[in-house]
Amino acid sequence: MNKKQKKALFRILASGALFLLVSLLPVDGALRFGLFMIPYLIIGSDILKKAGKGICNRQVFDENFLMAVATVGAIALGEYAEGVAVMLFYQIGEWFQSYAVGKSRRNISALMDIRPDCADVERDGGIVRVDPEEVEVGSVIVVRPGGKIPIDGVVIEGRSTVDASALTGESLPQEVEVGSAVISGCINRSGALRIQTTKEFGASTVSKILELVEHASSKKAKSENFISRFARYYTPAVCYGALALAVLPPLARMVFFNADPQWQQWLYRALTFLVISCPCALVISIPLSFFAGIGGAGKAGILVKGSNYLEMLAAAKYVVFDKTGTLTQGVFEVNGIHHSKMEEEKLLEYAALAESYSTHPISKSLLKAYGMEPDLKRVSDVREIGGNGVTASVDGRAVAAGNGKLMERLGISYQECTQAGTVVHVAIDGSYAGHILISDRIKPHAKEAILELKKCGVKEIVMLTGDAFAAAAQTAEALGIETFYSGLLPADKVEKVEELLSRKKEKEKLAFAGDGINDAPVLARADLGIAMGALGSDAAIEAADVVLMDDDPAKIAKAVRISRKCMRIVYENIYFAIGVKLLCLALGALGIANMWLAIFADVGVMALAVLNAIRALFVKRS
């Protein structure tokens, strides 16, 4: 609770206590009026000032004007207790709204705390503390235990665990060592690290997150814009309606029935009508529901760039996935050695040494599986054949490692592999020695993500990939995806998404999830782009509407659940607020509802709607 909220709460408690005390005192006349004016001015002076400023600025019709007219009118009619009560309970509702907004804002502000205040840079043999924005690419920074990593980079010395919970929503620390990529905003937990920066601060992960958070509130949902437009026309309409209610029935009684006009009774009804009509519940609770939804998603490591995207996410009926790096880890590893005529470890050793000079991902996976530093003295006469593989002399023996084209080029017969993946055929001294199967690994929660999306009511899940059909089919079968397309270039992926867009209904939305720079065109073309943010490319994050900070595809289903919960709360508040208002307005116009029921219709409905909106902040950990 901030100082402003504490001050407002003190005013509410003080005026509430005085109101109760005055109500119990057996006094009448001017003394009673004077005593009631004390709590009224304590609690309502700021509302009266705002109403006065609105009139001076020709922006008359707002909730401050409604409250000022209704309460001053009630006091003028001698209904002192009701006038003070309306202002008191209105301020209680405003305090609830302020507290709710503050709570959701603090939730988002937790993300803002990831911004580092300084960076320790190595310069001239010493360490200089500077603003992160002054650190150049390639600089070496030192991050001590307990410090925030200020800029994206690569660890060049040290070993530690880093806490990325402020970014991802997950508390499990990650191990980092020499060669590990680290992102800004994480907290170094154990050992000191020397990090070589790979980006400027403005392009680092933490800067991008802060930028996304700061601009999230500017993109409004359709229902949010509707409420803003509704309030703009609704408030003047009810003011004129209240004026008509105060004047026309008494005049009609005088002119047509020659009866007592009952001016005081109809003025009281008009004032009751004004209090009931105040649109606070809608104007406050609907934006707050979206704000809380974005805050709740941020707490779970899901950054939504605006409430309009939260609304679209709730309507997602088609979800299209890129394969590599999204459903799979994008890390190739040796998954089998087949048809080997020698010990499997020996065959792997020959292949790894032959590939030791190459920087190709396949070569790296062979060296990783080999598990030892290659002795380059054992390797000579290395020749890399583009699109085929390599030939080399290892320990004086002629080794060839590559695809089927290389074997055909060398005139060596080879065994086809029936399993999906990349196959490295190996020949030694002109004879086929077997092949090594290399494939990508499926992400741990990928299958869970598909199952959860189906439970959420997503009609169709599609996988797009540039991989060969066999590899795509194997991944799709393992994950339970019925529809997939393989061998696609980036332009082909856009074409497939456009085909799906043409098939869906108008109110249904299509979301595409990807991580690579080649996914940026598809992310932009889909109704809703979801980027796997922590390890994804800058272009993908820029093009996307939703960013998952920990590259976990299961977060997509969580994002859909959060968005649907938020939209459910929005519509609950709209139907509840409008329904109660219309009923009470009718009762007020007929003279059945008094000022106390008007207080519930205004303040009570607003308080209930605000409390309901706060529910969007809370996200289940599952």
**What's 261-320 look like in SS3?**
CCHHHHHHHHHHHHHHHCCHHHHHHHHHHHHHHHHHHHHCCEEECCHHHHHHHHCEEEEE
All CATH 3.40.1110.10 domain ranges of the chain, comma separated, are 330-441
The Cα 221–Cα 307 span in angstroms is 5
pLDDT at 29 over 50: yes
pLDDT at residue 209 in the model: 62
The Cα 39–Cα 223 span in angstroms is 38
% of the chain beyond a pLDDT of 90: 29
Range from 225-229, 395-399, 414-418, 442-446 that averages highest in pLDDT: 395-399
Place 523 in a pLDDT band, splitting at 50, 70 and 90.
confident
pLDDT at residue 468 in the model: 66
The Cα 153–Cα 181 span in angstroms is 6
pLDDT tens for residues 372-419?
888 889 999 999 887 788 999 999 999 999 888 899 999 999 988 877
Q: Average pLDDT, stretch 284-300?
A: 80
The rounded Cα 246 to chain-centroid distance in angstroms is 49
Lowest mean pLDDT among 210-214, 391-395, 464-468, 614-618: 210-214
Q: Average pLDDT, stretch 60-71?
A: 82
pLDDT at residue 108 in the model: 52
Name the burial class of residue 13, with classes exposed (0-12), middle (13-18) and buried (19+) by CB atoms within 10 angstroms of its CB. Answer: exposed
Q: Which residues are catalytic?
A: 322
Average pLDDT, the chain: 83
User: What one-character DSSP code corresponds to residue 445?
Assistant: T
pLDDT at 112 over 60: no
The phi, psi pair for 334, rounded to 5°, reads -70, 125
Tokens at 440, concatenated: 């990508």
Place 564 in a pLDDT band, splitting at 50, 70 and 90.
very high
Place 539 in a pLDDT band, splitting at 50, 70 and 90.
low
Lowest mean pLDDT among 106-110, 348-352, 402-406, 576-580: 106-110
Residue identified by tokens 């004077």 is 34
Place 540 in a pLDDT band, splitting at 50, 70 and 90.
low
pLDDT at residue 46 in the model: 92
The two beta strands, 397-402 and 389-394, are antiparallel
The answer to whether the CB of 527 falls within 8 A of the CB of 511 is yes
pLDDT at residue 168 in the model: 59
Architecture of domain 330-441: 3-Layer(aba) Sandwich (3.40)
pLDDT at residue 561 in the model: 92
All CATH 3.40.50.1000 domain ranges of the chain, comma separated, are 307-327+443-544
pLDDT at 535 over 50: no
HSE at residue 116, side-chain half, CA atoms within 13 A, is: 30
Place 228 in a pLDDT band, splitting at 50, 70 and 90.
low
pLDDT at residue 134 in the model: 87
The Cα 616–Cα 86 span in angstroms is 29
pLDDT at residue 587 in the model: 85
More confident residue, 597 or 527: 527
Q: Average pLDDT, stretch 332-358?
A: 88
Range from 213-217, 228-232, 267-271, 581-585 that averages highest in pLDDT: 267-271
The phi, psi pair for 8, rounded to 5°, reads -65, -40
pLDDT at residue 607 in the model: 78
The Cα 304–Cα 392 span in angstroms is 52
pLDDT at 427 over 90: yes
Q: Average pLDDT, stretch 287-295?
A: 81
CA angle 266, 68, 91 (to 5 degrees): 120
The answer to whether the CB of 463 falls within 8 A of the CB of 456 is no
Helix (H) or strand (E) holding 522: helix 520-525
pLDDT at 36 over 90: yes
Helix axes 361-370, 344-354, angle to 10 degrees: 140
Selected from 2.170.120.20, 3.30.1360.100, 3.40.50.300, 3.40.50.1000, the CATH number assigned to the domain covering 307-327+443-544 reads 3.40.50.1000
Range from 90-94, 416-420, 448-452 that averages highest in pLDDT: 448-452
- Could you tell me which residues are beta bridge partners of residue 392? 399
Range from 321-335, 368-382, 573-587 that averages highest in pLDDT: 368-382
The rounded Cα 449 to chain-centroid distance in angstroms is 17
